Each structure stands twice: as structure tokens, then as C-alpha cells.
Amino acid sequence: MQWEMLPSPNFKQAVIDAQKICVLTMGVLEKHGEHLCLGTDYLTAHRIGCLAGERENVMVFPPFYFGQIYEARCFPGCVTLEPSLTLQVIQGVCDEIGRNGFRKIVIYNGHGGNDFMLNYFAQTQLWKQKPYTVYVQEKWIPDPELWKQWLAIREAKDTGGHACETETSYTMCDYPQGVRMDQIAEPTHSLDRLKAFETDGFLGIKWYSKYPDHYAGDARTANPEKGKIWQEILVKGLADFIKRVKADEVAPALEKEFFEREKSIRNFEK
């Protein structure tokens, strides 16, 4: 079920049919080497969200492309919002999903640069009680069997993970118009310019220090056939996550308990 495709009179029933679960897919607008389109992350994430959403019969929110991508602001076409506004927008979107009747929101992220922000966002849900629970899928492929399948078809030795063989391949499946195979740049390796902090330091400029052209890996061996296999692995991973969210009664109960205890601190005189 895609939110934007439903007529308004059918929406209430759709919320019930979706068991009050909505998937919010996240990506950004950023440079992807010389050969992939700016929208790669949000387009492919939304497609994976829709495929998994169909399998599990849950709602999927329209494509969303505001997130953490400050490290690409030195390239044309990148779009970012002021940092605190980004979090406010994501919270505002979740609040609207909740206002429309959903009680569980699954965040599927197609952009590595969002990872820390989304975990922090999930953490901030304990600031104020909400009528919904947020579940961030933190890892795409926790199943070791699926991970084996993922690696089995990978040919590229440079696996930086940005506009690389895998990402280029699964973009080719549904958005061939966003891929220009004749414009792939030479493979890149990390430049290791902040090697002193590689294992125990984090800096905003760290990723840029490794890949200043916003291309990490080797896309030359990408093709849509491999892309289909990788996409299917991602869809399976998300569908399995949604299944567990459907069955989960623990997180909402724990949140209820948590906020009752938190309220009792505020009302200690009563």
C-alpha cells in the first residue's frame, strides 16, 4: 500500500488493513560518483520499502529525502536542512503518520550517513510520550545466510559502499535512467587522510577525508541481474523486520511503563 496512491475515503480502512503499521523510507539528495543520479538513495530505499510493504501488507509513506548529508554540501545538487530542523521535520512527519492512525512506524534507511542520526532520533522518542512506537531497522542483513548470498555475487574488490558495484546494480533494476555506465570514474580507495583517528575517533569530515569525490568502490562490474538479487536480499531483510514489528507487543508496553514512571517523578507531591 502506497500512501500517495490511496483515495482519501479508503484511507481509514487501509490503516486497519495495514495493522496500523507504516514504513517511512529515508534517503537523501547527494552526489553518487560521476554515474549515479542524486536521488539514488531515496529512490532505491522507497522501492525496497514498497516491495517489502506489499509482501507484509503495510502502508508505505511517500519518498522522503531530508537527512544527514552535510559531507556532500561541497557538490552541486545536494540538499540539506539546518541540523535541528532536519530532526524536527522527521518528527513532524512521524507525528502526522501517528495522527492518521498508525501506531508503529518502521524507518528503513537507504543512506549510510543517516545511521547515527536515526539512532539518535529513535532515542529522542523518550523525550515525550507519543501514540506510536518508532522502530529503526539498524542493520540491513542480519541473517548470515543472506549475507553469504550477498557476498557470493560480488565481483568488485573495492567495496567502499557508495555508488559502488552493489548500489549501482540495484539502482539499474528500477531506475536505469539514473545510471550512466559510460561515465563511471576510476575505482577509488580510501585516502586515509585521518588515519590517526581511524579506529577510535569520529569527525564530521571523516568520510570526506577518505573519499573526496563522493565515490567509494568500483562500479564497473555492476549489472541489473546482480542488482535484482541484491534488491531481493534487502527486501527479504526488511520484510522480516516488519514481521517482527507486527508481532511486537513489548516495545509499546515498555514505553507505557517508562512514561508512567517518568510522570510519577514529575507528580511526586500528589
Strands 104-109 vs 59-60: parallel, antiparallel or unpaired:
unpaired
When the beta carbons of 28 and 105 are compared against Zn ion, the nearer one is 28
Q: How far is the CB of 132 from Zn ion (least distance, A)?
A: 28
Select from 102, 116, 115 the least CA-distant residue to 20: 102
Segment interacting with Zn ion, rule: CB under 5 A, options 35-43, 57-65, 183-191, 249-257: 35-43
Segment interacting with Zn ion, rule: CB under 5 A, options 11-19, 36-44, 66-74, 120-128: 36-44
Closest CB to Zn ion: residue number: 41
When the beta carbons of 13 and 183 are compared against Zn ion, the nearer one is 183
Size of the site for Zn ion (CB under 5 A): 2
CB 18 within 8 Å of CB 48? no
Does 71 help bind Zn ion (rule: CB under 5 A)?
no
Alpha-carbon torsion, ordered 190, 172, 71, 234, to 10 deg: -90
When the beta carbons of 45 and 60 are compared against Zn ion, the nearer one is 45
3-state secondary structure 70-101: HHHCCCCCCECCCHHHHHHHHHHHHHHHHHCC
CB 240 within 8 Å of CB 188? no
Q: How far is the CB of 41 from Zn ion (least distance, A)?
A: 4
When the beta carbons of 134 and 164 are compared against Zn ion, the nearer one is 164
Does 41 help bind Zn ion (rule: CB under 5 A)?
yes
Please state, in angstroms and rounded to a whole number, the distance separating the CA atoms of residues 102 and 96.
Answer: 9
| Residues of this chain that bind Zn ion (CB under 5 A) | 40-41
